[in-house]
A and B are shown apart, each in its own frame.
Chain A
Amino acid sequence: MTEAAPLTPPRRRWRLPLALGLALLLVLLGVGLTRDPSHVPSALVGRAMPAFDLPVLGGEGALVSAEAEGRPLIVNFWASWCPSCRDEHPVLIDLGLRARMGGEFAIAGVNSRDTPANARVFLDREGHFPYASGMDPRGRTGIDFGVYGMPETFFVDAGGIVRARHPGPLTPRVLERYLPLIGVAP
């Protein structure tokens, strides 16, 4: 060790404040992370759901928003080109089966900015939804809802008022948080 001895005995009173400051910074960032940053409060929350009337994907007729009146409704925007849609697919199938069995709430898919052929291949591989999806090839309905990411899910209560919006894949935890808002047991 050829290090020269310090000329003055160093005073290191900065150590504790530095360590505390850094710890505080990390805590702040950590808490910030749990705040669901992407959830810029949707302008739709608390307002009536925009109406839609879309041709049914791979079927006859139309998917009309008015049909769900009087029941809580979950609207899920999805597409075959969206990798995270695959992640939420099993959750949606579970949820769809529950909706069909119980009938306490309804669920509607909106196949957004996609082609029917690609959407069908996607469903053939991942499994078909137990509910109908409407086709929104130009994303018009998506614009009405203010969708900016994919997937996105809207939770609408029995009165037709949007209670929550979730950008990103659905998980059981997300459902636990939002289903009670529209009067459905999680």
Chain B
Amino acid sequence: MELPVARIADFALALALALCLLAAVLAVQAGRRHDALRLVAARNAVFAVAALVTFAFAVLIRAFVISDFSLAYVAQNSNLDLPLIFKLSAAWGAHEGSLLMWAWFLAVLTAAAVALHWRDHPLSMPWVIATLALVQAGFLALVVLLSNPFATLAPVPADGRDLNPLLQDLALAFHPPMLYLGYVGFTIPFAFAVAALVRLHVGVEWVTAVRRWTLFSWTALTTGIVFGGYWAYYELGWGGWWAWDPVENASLMPWLTGTALLHSMMAQEKRRMFRLWNVFLVVATFMLTLLGAFLVRSGVLTSVHSFAVDPARGAYILVFMALAMVAGFGLVIWRADAIGSEAEVENPLSREAGLLANNVLLLIAALIVMIGTLFPLGVEVLTGDRISVAAPYFNRVMVPLFLVIVVLMALGPAVPWRGMPVARFPRQFRLPLGVALATGAAVLVLGQRDALTLVAVIVTAFAAAAVLADLGRSIAARRKVAGGGWAAAVLAALVQGRRRTGGLIVHLGIVIMAAGMIGSGLFQQARTLHLAPGQATRVHDLTLTLRGLETVEESNWIGRVARFSVSRGGEVVGVLSPEVRFYPVREMTTTEVAIRSELAGDLYIFFGGEQDGAIVAQVYWNPLVGWVWVGWLVLIAGSALSLTEPHAMRRRRAAPAAQEVPAE
């Protein structure tokens, strides 16, 4: 009988909830009365919450590993025949478990943030702890009251209902954890912003404290979105990786405001500008993560992602979000008068002007996504009609907007703070401009006449050249100063200028991803095939021959495989085997696409089914799609480099008047 452990975990969660509320009360008292003892008690409560939630999550994982079907959640999402890796990922494959994972991440990150900043920010700490504890209480109450993963089932079924076959996939095993890590991570900057607002110390300290949290969360969110796209690409068989699905949009919105935040924080650090704006962005980003949770879990919108729908949960998250909004934006509105900028944008040709433009554009992008996502809901509420805002709307509006942002991204890092002489501006960009025009001409010669496509290619080439030129300049400058060889200069740029070099590498990653998106989005070739075994067809420069059909059996599915040989110029270069799988437990059929990746593009086959001895298949040539994933790797590398800078310490030495004195 496995019941007792689950009961203890159940109790641990309830205890954690109580401790969160206690920590919040203690922390607020500590903040008001400068009571160090209460603050220590609140901190310890937060640490205890982390331990309790970790225990509960471990119990849930264990229940999946040993297939404990006495838990309803396990019985509904696992199966004896499920491979172990998917038993693990099934733990966060549906609503209850994923919410517990969310709470676990929050508990661990909260404890980490409190431990890391305990000494540096003693006066902010009470409000940081109070905010984090209240947010945690909000999530734990939802887990304990409305979506308990430890609810039991009797009679205990002999076997489980199996994980949704679409979710039995490696990319998807890691998509939710990364996404939630990103979502949850933005709670830490939010807590520091609340503390800064409460204390009216909206100076540079809180920004330096949370810069790396923001970058970390942003990186995790980016990774989560990319994994999700990758999953959609090869599991859903759309032939694409992004469909402007409401839930995809829900993750894109905080990403956009988070990107804006990463940039505008720099202006506050370097020039003490945008103070109110930064606070606003932090609060908005956090609210958008809650909105994401609401949209996914309340089911107000229909999407490929929808969890089991329960109106009570939706209502709960809505109330929670409303309270958080009133508190967060309320603070911003209330404190706005006391927050001013120390500096203004003096020159339109300056870094700060570029950052301002970047912020405005990213915020507009987030607003457009939000309007597009909620528009169907608005129409339904007002008229009762069900409509859906399709990809063409988003593509038409967002692609040009993103292109402008990419141009800004190329210009920004090369423009100094406070401004530069107008005459120097075009000189700075001679090389990228040349590259861009040459690329544009090449594409024209190749017969491309679509204006948007041309602009997209030119912009991407320009940005790529500009980012590389920036990297080259910063390496050359170091070589000039230090002497020595190029290798030493590269090393110096990587080690000493981690933030700038890291930032430029992230930009490079974005450009590579943009190239992949443009290539696969605008140059995709798609064909529907009816082939009998032995017949062949040509796609792009590849010849596909259907060699035969087979049946395969695995522990929890039965599949039908079509074997294609792929040849180029008469030489066989590979075998592709798209499948249709039938999962008997859920009586569900899924398709496994077959993909052959090259740098130039992916050959992508979707096996639709069989008709009198012949097969129906959808074949795509997706140019450059691999670049999206490569660009992501580059982005991760740049972001990791930037994260390793021991930044907070250097700051403290540079600005000794850190304004905070220990509480004792």
Contact = CB atoms under 8 A, between A and B. Distances in A.
The answer to whether A and B interact is: yes
Interface of A: 1-8, 10, 12, 15, 18-19, 22, 25-26, 28-33, 35-38, 40, 80-81, 83, 115, 117-118, 121-122, 125, 138-139, 143, 149, 168
Interface string B291-314: 000100011111000001111001
A78 to B, nearest CB: 14
B373 to A, nearest CB: 11
Contacts of A28: 374, 377-378, 381
Given A22-B329, A81-B76, A149 B308 contact: yes
Nearest to B295: A29
A40 B302 contact: yes
A5 B338 CA distance: 8
Nearest to A1: B200
Contact of A12 (B200, B301, B336): B336
Contacts of A149: 308
Interface string B198-211: 00111100000000
B444 interface: no
Nearest to B314: A33
Nearest to B309: A38
B154 A121 contact: yes
A15 B336 contact: yes
Interface stretch (B340-348, B389-397, B465-473): B340-348
Given A10-B337, A37-B302, 12 more contacts: A7-B340, A10-B276, A29-B294, A29-B298, A29-B300, A32-B377, A80-B157, A81-B153, A81-B161, A83-B153, A122-B155, A138-B587
A1 to B, nearest CB: 7
B154 A26 contact: no
A139 B300 CA distance: 28
Interface of B: 72, 75-76, 151, 153-155, 157-158, 161, 200-203, 276, 294, 298-302, 308-311, 314-315, 318, 321-322, 325, 329, 333, 336-342, 344, 374, 377-378, 380-381, 587, 657, 659
B380 A35 contact: yes
A59 B629 CA distance: 59
Contact of B344 (A7, A121, A139, A143): A7
A37 B342 contact: no
A166 B322 CA distance: 29
Contacts of B339: 6, 10
A98 B361 CA distance: 62
5 contacts: A4-B342, A33-B315, A80-B155, A81-B153, A121-B155
A148 to B, nearest CB: 10
Given A29-B318, A37-B301, A2 B157 contact: no
A35 B300 CA distance: 8
Nearest to A30: B318
B529 to A, nearest CB: 29
Contacts of A29: 294, 298, 300, 318, 321, 374, 377
A26 B298 CA distance: 13
A184 to B, nearest CB: 24
Contacts of B336: 10, 12, 15
A139 B380 CA distance: 33
B299 A2 contact: no
A22 B301 CA distance: 19
B75 A81 contact: yes
A40 B340 CA distance: 50
Nearest to A5: B340
A83 B76 CA distance: 10
A104 B438 CA distance: 81
A37 B333 contact: no
A115 B302 CA distance: 32
B370 to A, nearest CB: 8
A168 B322 CA distance: 26
A26 B318 contact: yes
B315 A37 contact: no
A37 B309 contact: yes
A183 B308 CA distance: 31
B299 A38 contact: yes
A18 B300 contact: no
Contacts of B202: 3
A29 to B, nearest CB: 6
Contact of B154 (A36, A38, A125, A138): A125
A28 to B, nearest CB: 6
Contacts of B76: 81
Nearest to B299: A37
Given A7-B340, A80-B155, A81-B161, A33 B318 contact: yes
Contacts of B659: 2
B200 A3 contact: yes
A15 B309 CA distance: 35
A26 B290 CA distance: 12
B338 A33 contact: no
B643 to A, nearest CB: 30
Which of A7, A26, A81, A115: most chain B Cβ within 10 A?
A81
A25 B155 CA distance: 44
A118 B300 contact: no
Contacts of B381: 28, 31-32, 35
Contacts of B587: 138-139, 143
A15 B333 contact: yes
Contacts of A10: 276, 336-337, 339-340
B201 A32 contact: no
Contacts of A143: 587
A35 B299 CA distance: 10
- The residue in A38, A149, A168 that gathers the most chain B C-beta atoms within 10 A of its C-beta is A38
Contacts of B322: 26
Contacts of A81: 72, 75-76, 153, 157, 161
B380 A18 contact: no
Contact of A22 (B154, B325, B338, B374): B325
B355 to A, nearest CB: 19
A19 B299 contact: no
Nearest to A41: B386
A19 B334 CA distance: 11
A95 B597 CA distance: 59
Contacts of B300: 29, 32-33, 35, 37
Nearest to A25: B374
B157 A19 contact: no
A2 B657 CA distance: 10
A12 B339 CA distance: 11
Nearest to B276: A10
Most chain-B CB neighbours within 10 Å: which of A80, A138, A139? A80
